[in-house]
Amino acid sequence: MPGRGLRKDAGAAPYRGAMELLERSVTLVQLAAELDAARGHGRVVLVGGEAGIGKTMLVRTFVERHTAGVEVLSGACDPLLTPRALGPLHDMARELRGSPLAAAVAGGAREAVFAAFADRLGGRRPSVMVIEDAHWADEATLDFLVFLARRLTGLHTLVVVTYRDEDPGVERLRAALGRVPAGAVTRIRLEPLSVAAVAELARRAGRRPAGLHALTDGNPLLVTELLQAPDGGVPPTVSDLVVARLAALPDGVRRAVRLLSVVPTTVEPWLAAALQDGDTPAADAGSTGGLLEQRADGLVFRHELLRRAVEEALPGPVRRAANARVLAALEAANRSVDPARLAHHAREAADRGAVVRHGVAAARRASAMGAHREAVAHYRSVLAGPPGADGVAATDAEPPLPADRAHLLEDYSVEAYLAGFSAEAVDVRLAAVSLREAADDPLALGEGLRWLARLHWWDGDRRRAEEAAPRWLRTTPAFARPFVVSLN
């Protein structure tokens, strides 16, 4: 069972009351019934709720209790500045090394990846596919969900998708699933714990329940954190709780936790080892006061809210230095690392050269996967430069770009066009045309003008489209025109 958070993990942190899933038995029964129904006709279940409400723990418990004899594939979307293209599918493929599915994912052709997953799920053996945190999903992953959901007839597959319903990214998920037949989708929303359930958890922890529900609104994560904190005078925010817990850790462990907080993905064992040095010991989940968990594929914070609380408490220079250290370890690794991860840490480290190097690679990979919105986001970061010290894009100097800046702008314009950002596609193409004019390259200039005419027309600007077309005719050598025209 690949992916984060779905295995029975050795060495997990001791008792956490909210993990006992009070008031979730009905939902577990509902998931089990959906799996039974999926054995004859595939189903999609959307599990939504606020951060910390227990979505991951619910799905983990369902997998452990109800999927005997069922193949489970799982992957997660990560809160990178720009998401990995098909990130959850890469998670799944990593656990299936040597299989045709893994080979298809490694090959990078989107159609082949989609087909390989459909073939894998098309056998007689029932299967469960879990995609966690879909509010962070990239465009290609959303396309995959639609592709699979529209082909569930005859597949013995239950697709479980978790998401935060208050996150802005959920609108894209809802729009995508609006293209799926309504009868194939079940929606489950997890509600906060009742006053009685919170009181029961407090009793089991040997604590007084007075005021606990009012402080937490029944959010299981907040209940857990408060029950683990020292009794009396506990601040009612996750951030304050985490800062207090960090202060109680030994110096070396505290440094390790702070360093790992800038990694929004799983910290693989090889990465944790690479980050270890004399000042920062190897992170051990058992010594981190319940902030980190050791899972099958590496170390993770027990919840994204906990990770962000630690990361956001870091002073700006410390945070940039930590990202630079992680980036150096990823770059030095003798293994394949998704360029979107590298681009994320480059931007967070304010390393202009690395932003360009990895951002261009990430944009091209996203484009190949059909994640055009993510490709545009990478090109924006490459051309604007990484955030400055004040969090605003640096404008005091041009970031170092490849020698052929015009070619980069042309690729960016195409991605903006494919992503539906028409005005942006025009603006970027105009900048590329200006560079082609200055370089006195008539063939490349003509191609740019041809594209410009198309973009103006698509943007509803007929006058400017008709102005660009004769300009193309004047610029492009006659011998090249038939070839250029044939591209339309």
- Greatest CA separation found in the chain? 86
Whether residue 37 has pLDDT greater than 50: yes
b/e map 392-416, b = 16+ CB within 10 Å? eebeeeebeeeeeebebbbbbbbbb
Least confident of 21-30, 96-105, 246-255, 284-293: 284-293
- Give the pLDDT score at 290: 80
The residue among 449, 438, 435 whose CA lies nearest residue 477 is 449
- Sole residue written with tokens 């077309």: 469
Q: How far apart are CA 106 and CA 335, in angstroms?
A: 13
Which band of pLDDT confidence, cut at 50, 70 and 90, is reported for residue 12? very low
What is the average pLDDT score of the chain? 83
295 Cβ contact partners less than 8 Å away, ≥ 6 residues apart: 4, 5, 7, 9, 266
Kindly write down the DSSP assignment for every residue of 224-266, as one continuous string: HHHHHSPSSS--SSHHHHHHHHHHTS-HHHHHHHHHHTT--S-
Element (DSSP H or E) covering residue 20: none
Query: Does residue 48 have a pLDDT over 60?
Result: yes
Phi then psi dihedrals of residue 43, to 5 deg: -135, 155
Assign 288 to helix, strand or coil: coil
Q: Which residues pair with 165 in a beta bridge?
A: none
Name the residue among 222, 327, 266, 238 with its Cα closest to residue 132.
266
CB atoms < 10 A from the CB of 334, how many? 5
Cα-to-chain-centroid distance, residue 139: 10
The Cα–Cα gap between 276 and 349 comes to: 19
pLDDT higher than threshold 80 for residue 61: yes
Q: At what angle do helices 442-458 and 462-475 cross, to 10 degrees?
A: 160
Query: Within a 10 A sphere around the Cβ of 435, how many other Cβ atoms?
Result: 19
Residue 402 phi, psi dihedral angles, 5° rounding? -55, 155
pLDDT of residue 133: 96
Task: Report CA 297 to chain centroid distance, whole Å.
Answer: 17
Region 172-188: what's the mean pLDDT? 89
Residue 297 pLDDT exceeds 90: no
Q: Indicate the SS3 state at residue 157.
A: strand
Higher pLDDT, 467 or 350: 350
User: In what side-by-side order are the strands of the sheet with 157-164?
Assistant: 71-76, 127-132, 157-164, 43-49, 185-189
Return phi, psi of residue 7, to 5°: -100, 160
Would you state the pLDDT for residue 402? 52
Burial of 465 (0-12, 13-18, 19+ CB in 10 A): middle
The pLDDT of residue 192: 94
**The pLDDT of residue 488:** 43
Rounded to a whole number of angstroms, the distance between the first and last alpha carbons of the chain is: 47
Q: Would you give the distance in Å from CA 415 to the centre of its chain?
A: 20
Under DSSP, is residue 127 helix (H, G, I), strand (E, B) or coil?
Answer: strand
User: How far is residue 447's CA from residue 456's CA, in Å, rounded to a whole number?
Assistant: 14
pLDDT in tens, 73-93: 999 999 999 999 999 999 999
The predicted-structure confidence for 331-369, as pLDDT tens digits, reads as follows 999 888 999 999 999 999 999 999 999 999 999 999 999
Helix (H, G, I), strand (E, B) or coil at 185: strand
Kindly report the backbone phi and psi dihedral angles of residue 158, in degrees, each rounded to the nearest multiple of 5, phi listed first: -105, 120
Q: What is the pLDDT of residue 394?
A: 40
Instruction: Give mean pLDDT, residues 411-420.
Output: 93
Report which of 54, 17, 22 is spatially closest to residue 204, judged by C-alpha positions: 17
Helices and strands (H, E) in the chain, number of each type: 23, 7
Tell which wins on pLDDT, 478 or 179.
Answer: 179
CB-CB neighbours of 92 under 10 Å: 24
